[in-house]
Amino acid sequence: MQEIERKFLIENADFLKGLKGFKIVQGYLSDNPERNVRVRIKGDQGFLTIKGVSNDSGTSRFEWEKEIDIQDAQQLLKLCLPGVIDKTRFEIPVGKHIFEVDVFDGENNGLIIAEVELQNENEPFEKPEWLGQEVTGDVRYYNSYLVSTPFTKW
C-alpha cells in the first residue's frame, strides 16, 4: 500500500500524437493534508482512493485504492468538494517501466505531467528525451492541489 513515484513536467507532447489515451475525471471528498480521499472515473471504471502524506522527498506515500461500481463513482463525484480534475492519460512503456503521461484539460489546460512508479526510491529507470523538469514533491503538481488552485490561475 505504498506509492513510490517520480513526477516530471513535459514541455512538448508531440510524441503522443497518434497514441490512444483514456479519459480520467476525479474529485476529492476530503482534502485534509494528512489524508485525501479521491473519487475517480477512469474510462468505464470507478475507483475510491485514500492517500496519506508524502515523505520528505515527496517520492513515497501511503495509497489505498479500491475499484468501485461506475454508478457509485458517478454519484460520489456529486458529493466532492468544488473543482474537478479532467485529463487524458497515456501509458508509455520506456525500458522496464511505464510512464503515465497526463494531459490536463479544463482549468488545468496546458499542464502535462509524466509519472513513473518505482519499487523503491532509489530504483534506476530510463529517462526518455521528452522528460522535462522533475517536480517530485512539489505540492503544486499534486492533483489534490490542482483541483483547488488550477494551473491556468498560477
Residues designated catalytic: 28
Query: HSE (CB half, 13 Å, CA atoms) of 128?
Result: 23
Residues 49-63: b if buried by 16+ CB within 10 A, e if exposed: bbbbebeeebbbbee
Given a contact cutoff of 8 angstroms between Cβ atoms, the answer to whether 50 and 64 are in contact is yes
Query: Under a CB-based contact definition with an 8 Å cutoff, are residues 149 and 87 in contact?
Result: no
CA distance 41 to 5: 21
Sign of the alpha-carbon torsion through 126, 139, 72, 104: negative
